[in-house]
Amino acid sequence: MADSTSQSQETLSNLLHETRSFPPPADLAENANVKAEAYDRAAEDRLGFWEEQARRLTWERPWDTVLEWEPPFAKWFSGGKINASVNCLDRHVEAGLGERVAYYWEGEPGDTRTITYAELKDMVCQAANAMTELGVRKGDRVAIYMPMIPETVVAMLACSRIGAVHMVVFGGFSVDALGQRLDDSQAKLVVTADGGYRRGKPSALKPAVDSAVAERPFVENVLVVRRTGQDVEWNDRDVWWHDAVGSQSTEHTPEAHDAEDPLYIMYTSGTTAKPKGILHTTGGYLTQVAYTHWAVFDLKPETDVYWCAADIGWVTGHSYIVYGPLANAATSVMYEGTPDTPHRGRFWEIIQKYKVTIAYMAPTAIRTFMKWGDDVPAQFDLSSLRILGSVGEPINPEAYVWYRKNIGGDRTPVVDTWWQTETGAIMVSPLPGVTAGKPGAAMRAVPGVTADVVDEEGKPVPDGGGGFIVIRDPWPAMLRGIWGDEQRYKDTYWSRFEGLYFPGDGAKKDADGDMWLLGRVDDVMLVSGHNISTTEVESALVSHPRVAEAAVVGATDKVTGQAIVGFIILRGGEEEVPDDLLQELRNHVGTSLGPIAKPARLLAVPELPKTRSGKIMRRLLRDIAENRAVGDTSTLTDSSIMEVIAKQLPSVKPGD
């Protein structure tokens, strides 16, 4: 991980200058759930602050100790007993909110389901009873390989209810990726569906499970939801969801679990080969996801309709489709399919239909919508929206401003939320009623979290400097380790800087001390002795009207160490960059960031290789830029992309 950082003593250059800023609307500021005083209060008594947030939940038994910290191992709320599914369901029903809608679910073909808190609780109790009957016990791992349907949430909550550890694998992953995760977690049950709808047609899931499970006798049962009605091959260990779950009682007495009992494992691939099983536990995780969902989105559960457009197979779906919103008794929208089915206005149609007030999505989606044109969202009534969120990557200023203007009617704050699978919950983000947001900046650590930007030696950089983001103190939703690999946990996150958590991202502080996240340090380029972030060069490229999307990598170069190679999607979809445009784009980057950041080569491509969360896999693009065989593509949303891009190679244009 530290390879590219140790190449140079230089810290990350601070190239981009962005001066726009958007103060919160007055009424939002006045009625905000969280006001400026929260920062001071949390700073004065961080542990007391988190205790106060933990009290927003219902505990079967209060904790004895807020935090036990034996670096790098944390225990939050030790002695406390809590059940996550009770906090997400039972307590709301008991409080008289049973009729409140938990999810407005929208299937891709247009079928819909409205599920109240009372109904969801019944479904979860049935599933908990079914899993118990299938022999699943507390501590057992359950794999969930599903489309975006309500049963996915039900399966997760049923696990949390009985204390089984869920491990959701993104439905787009290959058999190999699924198999590797089954091996590592030794899941005894797999929950899947015949298929789900994507791009207007049924997309099978069960065949991948069949192949993965065939060689893995430790998987005792496969529980199959019927979603598409596709033909499925049936094996001895397969059980239909509607038989096994549908026949159960809707009563289930939950057990109170220890605050530190495992809740789930979520695999994250990072840049190396073997995915890391990130382990999250119960009490601290739930405390921070519930608090941040309420604070960062200023959630008013009685009136808001909240929509997180992420996939449940991504940590964002876990924390901000399932646990955060449900713990807060929010009403959410959940959408099964793709944004362009059956037309490119599908997202805006959903917002109009359900009068969504808070929407949360990834910059990659926002850039795609920009590419499709302003006239698409303009056809829909988006006036219900009051807050917009972004997650997954740095949001470039162009995309931020487009989002605010074309989706938010120039009225809604945009919260750029920085966090990771490992952090479990939002760590750095504006607060919509407090912060004057700057396009492209995640701004400040949320109350109760202590983030900083440090140099190579771990010393804080002054305002205006660049370096690495670190977290100084343990936080409630932090990962508790890597499943089965304690040493790797220490090495990956706690060895770079003494006593500090190292997320692996570059960052800078601006003149006001606000934070700008610059992507993975493994992606940072070293050009003629300067560390340059891919994010800034990409932002500069997409600020040119001809460029819809850009991915930049450093390719080995005899003269400069690394040369900047840009892969760009042109707005007109052209497959070559004409010479005059190439020059123009290089100059455009030179003007925005300085001559050092001018790309040496630019290559027009029809698509970019992305993960489920829309992150560009620069490692694969580096392979292409350095004429190597392309590495592991098993976690791409679409693995054929690399062939398409490789075919474009002849159009590589050398720079001057």
262-268/257-258 β-pairing: unpaired
Find out whether 261 is annotated in a ligand binding site. Answer: no
48/31 Cα distance (integer angstroms): 24
Residue that is written with structure tokens 């002849």 in the block: 650
Rank residues 124 and 399 by Cβ distance to ligand 6R9 and give the closer one.
Answer: 399
Q: Does 619 bind ligand 6R9 (CB under 6 A)?
A: no
User: If DSSP codes are grouped into helix, strand and coil, which group holds residue 203?
Assistant: strand
User: If DSSP codes are grouped into helix, strand and coil, which group holds residue 516?
Assistant: strand
Q: Which of 360, 289, 414 is nearest to 614 (CA)?
A: 360
Rank residues 422 and 623 by Cβ distance to ligand 6R9 and give the closer one.
Answer: 422
CB of 425 to ligand 6R9, least distance (A): 9
Lay out the site mask for ligand 6R9 across 238-277 (x = CB under 6 A, - = otherwise). Answer: ------------------------------x---------
User: Beta strands of 194-341 (E only): which ranges?
Assistant: 195-198, 201-204, 221-225, 238-240, 257-258, 262-268, 276-281, 305-308, 331-335
Find out whether 166 is annotated in a ligand binding site. Answer: no
Q: Does 18 bind ligand 6R9 (CB under 6 A)?
A: no
Rank residues 58 and 271 by Cβ distance to ligand 6R9 and give the closer one.
Answer: 271
Interacting span for ligand 6R9 (CB under 6 A) from 36-44, 241-249, 410-418, 563-571:
410-418
Find out whether 520 is annotated in a ligand binding site. Answer: yes
Q: Does 471 bind ligand 6R9 (CB under 6 A)?
A: no
Q: Which of 318, 384, 251 is nearest to 84 (CA)?
A: 318
User: Applying CB under 6 A, which of residues 53, 288, 492, 613 lies at the interface with ligand 6R9?
Assistant: 613
CB of 114 to ligand 6R9, least distance (A): 28
Rank residues 140 and 416 by Cβ distance to ligand 6R9 and give the closer one.
Answer: 416
- Angle between helix 175-185 and 206-214 (nearest 10): 50
Find out whether 419 is annotated in a ligand binding site. Answer: yes
Find out whether 352 is annotated in a ligand binding site. Answer: no
Find out whether 588 is annotated in a ligand binding site. Answer: no
In our burial notation (b when 16+ CB lie closer than 10 A, e otherwise), range 366-385 reads bbbbbbeeeebbeebebeeb
Rank residues 509 and 598 by Cβ distance to ligand 6R9 and give the closer one.
Answer: 509
563/577 Cα distance (integer angstroms): 18
Rank residues 129 and 492 by Cβ distance to ligand 6R9 and give the closer one.
Answer: 492
User: If DSSP codes are grouped into helix, strand and coil, which group holds residue 132?
Assistant: helix
89/167 Cα distance (integer angstroms): 21
Find out whether 505 is annotated in a ligand binding site. Answer: yes
Residue that is written with structure tokens 């993960």 in the block: 611
101-106/141-145 β-pairing: unpaired
Find out whether 91 is annotated in a ligand binding site. Answer: no
3-state secondary structure 401-421: HHHHHHHCCCCCCEEEEECCC
Find out whether 76 is annotated in a ligand binding site. Answer: no
* Residue spans of alpha helices (H) in 355-403: 363-372, 375-378, 397-402
Rank residues 270 and 561 by Cβ distance to ligand 6R9 and give the closer one.
Answer: 270
Q: Which of 649, 273, 260 is nearest to 477 (CA)?
A: 260
Rank residues 161 and 480 by Cβ distance to ligand 6R9 and give the closer one.
Answer: 480
CB of 340 to ligand 6R9, least distance (A): 22
Interactions with ligand 6R9, residue window 505-564 (CB under 6 A): 505, 517, 519-520
Q: What are phi and psi of 566, to 5 degrees?
A: -110, 130
DSSP 448: T
Lay out the site mask for ligand 6R9 across 361-400 (x = CB under 6 A, - = otherwise). Answer: ------------------------------xxxx------
Backbone CA torsion sign across 79, 85, 90, 92: positive
Rank residues 471 and 569 by Cβ distance to ligand 6R9 and give the closer one.
Answer: 471
CB of 251 to ligand 6R9, least distance (A): 36
List the helix and strand counts (H, then E) for the chain.
23, 30
End-to-end Cα, the chain, rounded Å: 32
359/304 Cα distance (integer angstroms): 10
Q: Does 433 bind ligand 6R9 (CB under 6 A)?
A: no
Rank residues 391 and 477 by Cβ distance to ligand 6R9 and give the closer one.
Answer: 391
Q: Does 477 bind ligand 6R9 (CB under 6 A)?
A: no
Find out whether 199 is annotated in a ligand binding site. Answer: yes
Interacting span for ligand 6R9 (CB under 6 A) from 161-169, 287-295, 412-420, 600-608:
412-420
Lay out the site mask for ligand 6R9 across 287-326 (x = CB under 6 A, - = otherwise). Answer: ---------------------------xxx----------
**Residues near ligand 6R9 (CB under 6 A):** 268, 314-316, 391-394, 416-421, 442, 503-505, 517, 519-520, 613
Residue stretches of the annotated binding site for CoA: 198-201, 316, 528
Residue stretches of the annotated binding site for ATP: 392-394, 416-421, 505, 520
Residue stretches of the annotated binding site: 198-201, 316, 392-394, 416-421, 505, 520, 528, 542, 544, 547
Residue stretches of the annotated binding site for Mg(2+): 542, 544, 547
